[in-house]
Amino acid sequence: MSGRRKAALGFIFVTLLVDVTGFGVIIPVIPKLLSELMNVGIAEASSYGGWLLAAFAVMQFLCSPLIGNLSDQYGRRPVLLISLFGFGIDYLFLAFAPTIGWLFVGRVIAGIMGASFTTAAAYIADISEPEKRAQNFGIIGVAFGLGFIIGPAMGGILGEHFGSRAPFVAAAVLDFFPIEGTHKTFDEVAKLYRRFGHADRIAMTEGYNTHQYSDENQEAAFEFLDHFNQLPATHALAPVKELDESALQCTRTGQVMLDVRDAKPLLDVIRDYYVEHKSQPHKSLRQSYYGTGYAGVAGWKTTKYAGVAPAEKQIAWDNLGSSEFEGITMDRYALHHSGNLVMPLLHIHRAQQKNRRWLLWFTKDGKAGADDWPKIVKQLDAGFDIVTFDFRGLGETRMPYKAVSEDDPSLAQLDYDHAYVNPLSSVLADYVYNSLLTGKPYFLQMIEDAEIAVLFSDAELHASKFSVTTGGDGATLASAIAETLPAIKFLPQPDSQVIPWSDLVLQRRELWPIQYLMPGGAYIQ
C-alpha cells in the first residue's frame, strides 16, 4: 500500500477514534448532569438520557443519505472535518446548556454530524484495493472499540474530579483538535467556501518567527513546571546574562583557517577525496535510477481520471481542454499518479502534421512558457509534436511558500521565482534535501516524471520515437533522461550546457542548480 493511502487510512482512523471517544466520554455523566438540571433523581434522569440518545440515533438515521450525497459531491475529507467541528459544537452545548432543551438541540446536531460514519466507510471503499477492502473496513471496528474503552473511562475520571460538565469540554477539545495540521484543514474548508461563493469570508495569515520561545511562552512553561513540582510560582523570568562572543571562541582568531597553517577549505578536501577514489568502480546513472527505490513506472497502466486518487501503479489522466493559436493546437492534461501527485502536461502540435516525431521539452522552471514560443514554433516546423510538463515541485506544482533565513537576510529581498529555487535557502532546496533522507534524490524523481510523461504519451497520444531537448543548464537533466530512459535521444540546443558533476567538484564550485544535487554524482560517467 502506498504512503498516501496509509496516510488516508490513518486520517479516517483518527477521525473515527476522536468521534467515538468524544461520544464515550459523556456517557458516565449524562444522568448526573440531567439530575442537576432538572432537580430529579438519577432514575428519572436516566429515562431522559434515553430520549437524548434516541434523538441522536433518529437524526443519524434520517441524515445518513444526505451526508453521503454531500460527500459524493464535495469530497469525503471536507465532510469528515466538518463533522468533527459539528461534534465539537454539540459538546459545548452539553457543557454549558442551562436547560434540558439545549441538551436536545446539541444531540440533534450530533446526530446530523454522526451520519458522517457512512462517509468514513465510503472513504475506505474509495482508497482500498479490492483484495484489502475487508481488512481496511476493520479499522472502523477498531476505532469504535478503542473509543468506547478510552471514552467512558476518561469521562468517569473527569466527572469525578472536575464535575459533571468537564467531560463535555474534554470531548469538545478532542473534536476541535487539528488532525492533519492547520494548512490541510484550512485548504479543505476554503474549497467548500469557494463552492458556495464566499471565498472572501475565510483567510489564514502566516508569519516567520525566530527559533526561540517567546517570553510569554517561557513564562507559561516555567509556571507549569513550578506547579507540577509543587514549587512557589515565580511569574517572571530570571534576568539574562549575555556572554561575550570571545567566551565561546575556541580558536585564537575565531577562524580555523587563520590559526592552522596547513588547514584546507572543505571544497579542497572534497576534491581531493574524489580524485583519490574516482578510479574505483561506481554505479551508472541508469543503475542508480533502476535500482532500489525504482517505482516500476514502465509497468504502470493509464486510465481516465474518475475524480478520486488513482490506484497504485496507475496514471489517471484528465483532459482539461484545448486551445488554438496560429494553426497550432495546445491540449491540456493533468496526470494524477502516486497518490495525490498531479503533473500538468501540454501536447502542442499542428493538426495536419504527418510522419510525426515527438519531443520532450522543458525548462529549468518546468514546462514551456510564453518566452519559449519562438523555439516551440521552430521545433513544430521541424516536424515535431511537443510534450512539455511540470516536474513535481516546479511550475504549476510549486508550493506557495517562500523560505527566508535569519543567517542571510538578503534572501528575503529576492522575488518569489528566484527565492523558490535558491540553492542556499529555499522551499525547493528543503524538498531536495528531504528527498535525500527518503533515499530517492530529487534528480531521480525528475527522471521518473519524464518517464511518466512518456508512458502517458505512448499509451494515450500514440507517441513514438521521442527525443528530449532544452536550453541552458537544463541540458544536464535532458542528457540524463536520454541516458537513463530507453529509446530517447538527446537533442542539444545551441545554448545547451551539460554540466558534469565531476567538473563541479574539480572546479570547487559552491553553487549550482539545487535540483541537480545527486549523491555520488561526480563518479557518474
- CATH 3.40.50, the chain: domain bounds: 297-523
Q: How far apart are CA 427 and CA 418, in angstroms?
A: 11
Q: What are the DSSP calls for 272-310, one per residue?
A: HHHHHHTTS----HHHHHSSTT---GGG-EEEE--SSPP
Taking residues 410-414, report their average pLDDT: 68
**Cell 476518561, located at residue:** 154
**Cell 484528465, located at residue:** 318
Contact 449, 392 (CB under 8 A): yes
Q: Environment class of residue 475 by beta-carbon count within 10 Å: exposed (0-12), middle (13-18) or buried (19+)?
A: buried
Closest CA to 359 of 377, 335, 336: 377
Q: Which amino acid is residue 293, in one-letter code?
A: G
Give the global pTM.
Answer: 0.55
Across all residues in the chain, what is the average pLDDT? 78
Three-state SS at 19: helix
Taking residues 473-496, report their average pLDDT: 89
Closest CA to 113 of 140, 148, 149, 89: 89
Q: What are the DSSP calls for 39-52, one per residue?
A: T--HHHHHHHHHHH
Q: What is the pLDDT of residue 207?
A: 46
Going from the C-alpha of 230 to that of each of 214, 218, 225, 233, 237, the distances in angstroms are 24, 18, 8, 9, 18
Taking residues 218-239, report their average pLDDT: 75
Q: How far apart are CA 278 and CA 335, in angstroms?
A: 40
Contact 152, 28 (CB under 8 A): yes
Q: What is the pLDDT of residue 161?
A: 61
Of 153-167, 225-239, 269-283, 376-390, minimum mean pLDDT range: 153-167
Indicate the pLDDT class of residue 195, thresholds 50, 70 and 90.
confident
Strand-pairing partners, residue 333, are 319, 345
What are the pLDDT digits (tens) for 341-350?
Answer: 999 999 999 8
Report whether CATH 1.10.3470 matches the domain 297-523.
no
Q: What is the pLDDT of residue 364?
A: 80
Of 96-110, 210-224, 465-479, minimum mean pLDDT range: 210-224
Express as a percent the part of the chain with pLDDT over 90. Answer: 19
For residue 488, count other CB atoms closer than 10 A to its CB.
Answer: 20
User: Residue 133: left if φ>0, alpha if ψ -120 to 50, beta else—which one?
Assistant: alpha
Contact 429, 423 (CB under 8 A): yes
CA angle 429, 431, 437 (to 5 degrees): 110
Indicate the pLDDT class of residue 187, thresholds 50, 70 and 90.
low
- CATH 1.20.1250.20, the chain: domain bounds: 3-201
Express as a percent the part of the chain with pLDDT over 70. Answer: 79
Q: What is the pLDDT of residue 441?
A: 92
Q: How far apart are CA 72 and CA 74, in angstroms?
A: 6
Closest CA to 430 of 420, 443, 440, 416: 420
Q: Which amino acid is residue 441, in one-letter code?
A: P
Going from the C-alpha of 195 to that of each of 188, 192, 364, the distances in angstroms are 11, 5, 35
Q: How far apart are CA 399 and CA 393, in angstroms?
A: 6
Indicate the pLDDT class of residue 192, thresholds 50, 70 and 90.
low
- Could you please state the CATH topology (level 3) that the domain comprising 3-201 is classified under: Growth Hormone; Chain: A; (1.20.1250)
Of 29-33, 495-499, 503-507, minimum mean pLDDT range: 29-33
Buried b (16+ CB within 10 A) or exposed e, 198-221: eeeeeeeeeeeeeeeeeeeeeeee
Of 11-25, 415-429, 467-481, minimum mean pLDDT range: 11-25
* Cα-to-chain-centroid distance, residue 165: 38
